Amino acid sequence: MRYLVVADVHSNLEALEAVISDAVEAYDSVLFLGDAIGYGPNPNECVERLSRFADVVMLAGNHDLAAVGAVDIGMFNDTARTALEWTRGMLSADVARLLQSLQPRLDQPDFALAHASPRNPVWEYMLERYQASPNYQAFTQPLCLIGHTHVPTEFAQTTAPQGEVNLRIPRGGDSTGLAPSTRYIINPGSVGQPRDGDPRAAYGILNTDAETFDFRRVSYPVEVTQHKIRVAGLPDQLAYRLAIGR
Ligand code: ZN
pLDDT, position 91 = 98
Q: How far is the CA of 192 from the centre of ligand 1 (A)?
A: 9
Q: How far is the CA of 242 from the centre of ligand 1 (A)?
A: 13
The tens digit of pLDDT for each residue in 54-70 reads: 999 999 999 999 999 99
Q: How far is the CA of 14 from the centre of ligand 1 (A)?
A: 16
State the Cα–Cα distance between residues 46 and 176, nearest whole angstrom. Answer: 29
The tens digit of pLDDT for each residue in 66-108 reads: 999 999 999 999 999 999 999 999 999 999 999 999 999 999 9
pLDDT confidence band for 160 (50 / 70 / 90)? confident
Q: How far is the CA of 44 from the centre of ligand 1 (A)?
A: 16
The values of phi and psi at residue 44, to 5°, are -60, -45
pLDDT, position 162 = 86
Helices (H), ranges, 53-121: 62-67, 78-90, 93-100
Q: Is the dihedral of CA 97, 21, 193, 235 positive or negative?
A: negative
The tens digit of pLDDT for each residue in 177-197 reads: 999 999 999 999 999 999 999
Asked if the model's pLDDT at residue 25 lies above 90, the reply is: no
pLDDT, position 26 = 86
State the Cα–Cα distance between residues 183 and 181, nearest whole angstrom. Answer: 7
- Residues 120 and 78: beta-carbon distance below 8 Å: no
CA dihedral 235, 71, 152, 207 (to 10 degrees): -130
- Residues 96 and 65: beta-carbon distance below 8 Å: no
Q: How far is the CA of 111 from the centre of ligand 1 (A)?
A: 21
User: In sequence order, what are the beta bridge partners of 32?
Assistant: 6, 58
Q: Model-level pTM greater than 0.75?
A: yes
Q: How far is the CA of 97 from the centre of ligand 1 (A)?
A: 20
What is the residue-averaged pLDDT of the chain? 97
CA dihedral 205, 245, 129, 32 (to 10 degrees): -40
pLDDT confidence band for 238 (50 / 70 / 90)? very high
State the Cα–Cα distance between residues 238 and 232, nearest whole angstrom. Answer: 11
State the Cα–Cα distance between residues 37 and 212, nearest whole angstrom. Answer: 29
Q: How far is the CA of 189 from the centre of ligand 1 (A)?
A: 10
In three state form, how does the secondary structure of 169-217 look? Answer: CCCCCCEEECCCCEEEEEECCCCCCCCCCCCCEEEEEEECCCCEEEEEE
Q: How far is the CA of 162 from the centre of ligand 1 (A)?
A: 32
pLDDT, position 47 = 98
Q: How far is the CA of 4 from the centre of ligand 1 (A)?
A: 18
pLDDT, position 112 = 98
State the Cα–Cα distance between residues 58 and 51, nearest whole angstrom. Answer: 8
Q: What is the DSSP letter of 131?
A: G
Q: How far is the CA of 16 from the centre of ligand 1 (A)?
A: 14
